[in-house]
Amino acid sequence: MDIDNSEEPQQEDMIACVVALETALLPCLPARELQAIDRSPHPSHQIDVERHARDFMEAAKKLQVYFIGLQREDQPPPTEIDKLHKEIGVMEEEIRVKSDLIEKQIRLIQGWKGELQDQLDKHNSELEKV
């Protein structure tokens, strides 16, 4: 019985959203008339169109939020194992990134080592000439 009680408020919420959407849509005129009003020089016509559009967008936004909420409710909460798998994945990615960085730094140090060896050889050869 708890399931039926919990479904009633959800159903009422959805019905309220649909009613709000219908209420916002009902005053809207067919496209030709809206275009004619849109071109109308009367400011009151323009205000009506803007108000209806705003009402419609607010109702659509409420409906969207409601459906997103339903979608989230359908997904079970993550288990401890799921959380650990996610943490492990994050840690593995972090290790991969840091390993790549270490490899780049090792190559850079090896390059410097080679340059320093070349300079040392050059200085030694100059010293031998002297």
Looking at residue 1, its pLDDT comes to 41
Give CA angle at 42 (40, 48), nearest 5°: 85
Contact 20, 59 (CB under 8 A): yes
Looking at residue 15, its pLDDT comes to 75
Looking at residue 98, its pLDDT comes to 95
Q: Which two tokens stand for residue 83?
A: 């959380």
Looking at residue 45, its pLDDT comes to 57
Mean pLDDT in order along the chain per 10 residues (130 residues): 55 74 62 57 62 75 78 76 93 95 95 95 91
End-to-end CA distance of the chain: 101
Contact 34, 49 (CB under 8 A): yes
Looking at residue 2, its pLDDT comes to 43
Looking at residue 4, its pLDDT comes to 47
Q: How far apart are CA 100 and CA 113, in angstroms?
A: 20
